[in-house]
Amino acid sequence: MLSRVANLIYWIARYLERAENTARIVEVNAALVLDLQARQAADDPRAWEPLVFVTGSDEKFHELYGEKATERAVIEFMLFDKRNPSSVLACVATARENARCIRDQLSSELWETLNTFYLRLKDDDFTRYAQLGAADYLAWIKTQTQLFHGVADAMIPRDDGWWFYDLGRHLERADNTTRILDIKYFMILPGVQAVGSALDMVQWASVLRSCSAFEAFRRSRRGDLDLTRVVDYLLRDESFPRSVLYAIAEAEQCLVRIGPGDGQPAVAQAHELVRRLREELEAGDAQAIIAAGLHEYLDGLQLRIEQIHEAVQRAYIAQGTAPQ
């Protein structure tokens, strides 16, 4: 497979996974804001600013929208603004352009699914979002991205193209699960006494629901819903598909299936980085992570996932070593 084709397939998966997870991040924040409305105005910047911080887009947001992070400004920025490369519309548009460049490599069903999604999304704005309501509109975005992944799963042959696609999807998923967890760090409780309160638990339930994890968590982790148990589940559960450990383990298997390339040191480094992160997640302890600083730990995970991405680019893309 040409490294250019491998890279485009890899990024199609990443951009569509990012679009879905951006919708999930907005969803969890909207739910948390509802929980806090009795104590602060819904348009209080403290209610919406977490989104631009947790996605690392705060400088770009303030450059485009000024200092005040209102609900409308943040929703426009996160969902519809093409000037934000991580907005849902920008991600879907870029994935579509990548797919257009390799249409001969994709099934017609896969192209039509993505093209239809883009055409229905491209003229939407905050008004459309408000008319449908946050829950319904964001559910539609998630359904469309899941439809694409479902068609891809049924249509892409299990050759190197599929493994690059699956690698991109799982690296992006691991990164975004850490960001969804990190939103709770930025949400302001009424006071220290509220930690462990009913409000705190409702907020953690919202975090689980944004990862489609609430029911799965209840079935597998019987007992009270608390900080340690939620963090452990979303970081370290071996069977839940959106946990960081599961996604990293899947990414590791994708690299195994892609193979050693031409044996260059960069290939070995990519394999080593993902293996080491998987082993450290398996050996981790949620209580120790929280005690040492959950926010700092999540920042560290995001950095390490980015290092894996860069190693993959050096190993298989930049030097044209994608398996033939």
Q: Where are the beta strands (DSSP E) in 223-321?
A: none
Q: Mind listing the pLDDT tens digit for each residue in 148-176?
A: 999 999 999 999 999 999 999 999 999 99
State both tokens at 199. 């409000």
- Residue 193: pLDDT band (50, 70, 90) is very low
Output the pLDDT for position 183: 80
Neighbours of 182 (CB within 10 A): 22
> The pTM is what?
0.90
pLDDT (tens digit, 9 = 90+) per residue, 104-151? 999 999 999 999 999 999 999 999 999 999 999 999 999 999 999 999
Q: How far apart are CA 178 and CA 156, in angstroms?
A: 28
In the DSSP assignment, the letter for residue 79 is I
Provide the token pair at 195.
């930690």
